[in-house]
């Protein structure tokens, strides 16, 4: 069983041009940070990967790269059970200037846990950038140094974000309306082009 999304039920939240223009602005801010020359960029898989790829190519300063992946955690009745790294760091971060790149901060649980994990490994500096901040859903007070867009409580897909692993490849951000999701057998999710 999988959900079916009809074309009309995905609306465009941010066009590819809007995203790319904001990514360039974020890169200018990051280039201006006073941290040492080289940034050690840590991407949070999978959602943050698309944003990370555009962001690092817009930066003027040199970067090194690493990735972590985290298990889904919690549920409606137990939202803050401990997350778990399903992919750990390849390299140590001691005395490095670290930038964590996320696609979205929602409840804040993922980033909060990750920042504690990274802080314990003694980076010289540790900062965060998230493309999207869904502040209305925040349950854990977590520091996000730089935010691309603050959004309402929409179900957002595209540009790395998924619904049942689909839509990550879209160059724009779309909003899926709950009414647009219905269960059917062997359904195909419509390919969408919005700009
Ligand atoms: C998403 C997103 C963040 C996290 C944010 O990951 O990429 O890592 O949720 O939610 P939170 O603030 O409530 O913790 P998801 O678990 O959907 O995995 P994915 O990135 O592989 O899609």
The answer as to whether 45 is a domain residue is yes
Please enumerate in sequence order all residues whose Cβ is within 8 A of that of 174, keeping only pairs 6 or more positions apart, or say none: 10, 11, 12, 13, 156, 157, 158, 167, 192, 194
Q: Kindly state whether residue 2 falls inside one of the protein's structural domains.
A: no
Q: Hey, which of 69, 110, 154 would you mutate to test ligand 1's pocket, going by the most ligand atoms within 8 Å of its Cβ?
A: 110
Domain presence at residue 114: yes
Tell me whether residue 185 is in a domain. Answer: no
Please tell me the pTM assigned to this model. 0.85
The minimum-distance atom of ligand 1 relative to the CA of 142 is: 12
Q: How confident is the model at residue 189 (pLDDT cuts 50, 70, 90)?
A: very low
- Positions annotated as catalytic residues are 106
In a domain, 67, yes or no: yes
Q: What is the DSSP letter of 24?
A: H
Total structural domains within the chain: 1
pLDDT of res. 186:
30
Q: Does residue 106 sit within a domain?
A: yes
* Per-residue pLDDT reduced to its tens digit, 56-97: 999 999 999 999 998 765 555 455 566 789 999 999 999 999
Which band of pLDDT confidence, cut at 50, 70 and 90, is reported for residue 192?
Answer: very low
CA 47–ligand 1 middle distance (angstroms)? 7
Q: Give the residue, by CA position, lying nearest to ligand 1 atom 3.
A: 104
Strands, E assignment, 79-190: 85-87, 97-105, 125-133, 146-150, 155-157, 173-176, 182-184
- Per residue in 107-128, pLDDT (tens digit) is 999 999 999 999 999 999 999 9
Position 180 in a domain:
no
Q: What is the mean pLDDT of residues 11-34?
A: 96
CATH number of the structural domain spanning residue 65 = 3.40.50.2020
Point out the ligand 1 atom lying closest to the alpha carbon of residue 165.
22
Domain that holds residue 83: 16-153
């Amino acid at each position: 069983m999988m959900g079916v999304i009809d074309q009309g039920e995905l609306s465009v939240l941010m066009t590819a041009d809007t995203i790319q223009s904001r990514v360039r602005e974020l890169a200018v801010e990051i280039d201006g940070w006073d941290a040492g020359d080289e940034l050690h960029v840590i991407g949070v898989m999978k959602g943050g990967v698309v944003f990370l790829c555009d962001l690092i190519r817009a930066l003027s300063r040199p970067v090194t790269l690493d990735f972590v992946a985290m298990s889904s955690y919690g549920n409606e009745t137990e939202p803050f059970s401990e997350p778990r790294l399903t992919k750990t760091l390849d390299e140590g971060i001691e005395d490095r200037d670290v930038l964590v790149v996320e696609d979205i901060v929602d409840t804040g649980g993922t980033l909060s846990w990750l920042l504690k994990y990274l802080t314990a490994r003694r980076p010289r500096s540790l900062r965060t950038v998230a493309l999207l901040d869904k502040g209305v859903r925040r349950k854990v007070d977590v520091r996000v140094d730089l935010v691309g867009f603050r959004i309402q409580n929409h179900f957002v897909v595209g540009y790395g974000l998924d619904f049942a692993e689909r839509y990550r490849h879209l160059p724009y951000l779309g909003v899926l309306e709950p009414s647009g999701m219905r269960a059917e057998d062997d359904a195909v999710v419509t390919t969408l082009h919005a700009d």
